[in-house]
């Protein structure tokens, strides 16, 4: 299972990287979202899969999956959400102000 997920994560990274390298601003946002999914899956996999029940005490089970990666991912998801939201609004603004979303045309100031 871990091997399969590792390959899936690699695939998500590939797709994300390809999108990030493209010229269109919205594709780049899509790319970062996909990469963050890949990262979350990676963290979860690294903690080990199917080692026990959900990390809730009081269950009959005695073995639990590792709760620490889950806590880390939870933090990551929220932060990623915040960043994506800001990025989205920023790109919306950029598009409004400059009238383009082509990264090649969004190049610095003339006096640089």
Partner 1 sequence: MVFLLLFMIFLPFIFAILTPFLYKLFAPRVHTGWFVAIVPLSVFVLLLQYIPVISNGQTIYQSVPWIPSLGVNITAYLDGLSLIFGLLISGVGFLVVLYSIYYMSKEREALHNFYVYMLLFMGAMFGLVFSDNILVLYVFWELTSISSFLLIAYWYQRKNSRYGAQKSMLITIFGGLAMLSGLIMLSMMSDSYNIREILSEVHVVTESPLFLPAMILLLLGAFTKSAQFPFSIWLPDAMEAPTPISAYLHSATMVKAGIYLVARFTAVFGGSSEWFWIVSGVGLITLVYGSINAVNQKDLKALLAYSTISQLGLIMSLLGLGSASLYFGNGDESTVYAMAIIASMFHLINHSTFKGSLFMVIGIIDHETGTRDIRKLGGLMSLMPISFTLTIIGSFAMAGLPPFNGFLSKEMFFTSILTAVEQPVFGMKMFGLFVPIIAWIASVFTFIYCMILVFKTFTGKHQPEKIDKVAKEAPIGMLIPPAILAILVIGIFFFPNVVGKNFLQPALMAILPIHSEGVGLTIKAWHGWNTELFMTIGVVLFGSIMYIFLKRWTVLYHFFPKTLTLNHLYNQSLEGTEMMSYKVTNKYMTGKMRDYLVYIFGFMIVILGGALWLSDGITFLGSNQAGVSIYEGVLLGAMVISGFAVLLSKSRLTAIIALGALGYLVSLFFVIFRAPDLALTQLVVETVTSALFLLCFYHLPKLRKEVSRIQFKLTNAVISIGVGTVVTLLALAVNNHRLFASISNFFEQSYTLAGAKNIVNAILVDFRGFDTMLEILVLCIAGLGVYTLIKLQLAGRDRKE
| Residues between 31 and 90 with contacts to partner 1, criterion CB under 8 A | 33-34, 37-38, 40-42, 44-58, 64-68, 70-71, 73-75, 77-86, 88-90
* Distance in angstroms (rounded) separating the CA atoms of residues 25 and 100: 9
Q: In angstroms, give the least distance from the CB of 12 to partner 1.
A: 6
Q: In angstroms, give the least distance from the CB of 63 to partner 1.
A: 10
Q: In angstroms, give the least distance from the CB of 107 to partner 1.
A: 4
Alpha-carbon dihedral of residues 20, 25, 27, 31, nearest 10 degrees? 40
Site for partner 1 (CB under 8 A): how many residues?
A: 87
Q: In angstroms, give the least distance from the CB of 60 to partner 1.
A: 13
| Residue 3 vs 60, nearer CB to partner 1 | 3
List b or e across 50-64, with b for residues whose CB sees 16 or more CB atoms inside 10 angstroms.
eeeeeeeeeeeeeee
DSSP 108: -
* Distance in angstroms (rounded) separating the CA atoms of residues 22 and 34: 14
26 touching partner 1, by CB under 8 A? yes
């Amino acid at each position: 299972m871990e091997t399969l997920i590792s390959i899936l994560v690699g695939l998500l990274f590939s797709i994300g990287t390809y999108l990030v390298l493209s010229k269109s601003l919205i594709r780049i946002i899509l790319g970062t979202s996909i990469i963050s999914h890949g990262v979350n899956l990676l963290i979860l996999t690294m903690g080990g899969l199917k080692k026990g029940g959900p990390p809730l005490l009081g269950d009959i089970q005695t073995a639990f999956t590792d709760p620490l990666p889950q806590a880390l991912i939870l933090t990551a998801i929220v932060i990623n959400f915040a960043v994506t939201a800001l990025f989205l609004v920023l790109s919306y603004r950029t598009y409004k102000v400059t009238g383009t979303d082509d990264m090649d045309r969004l190049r610095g100031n003339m006096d640089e």
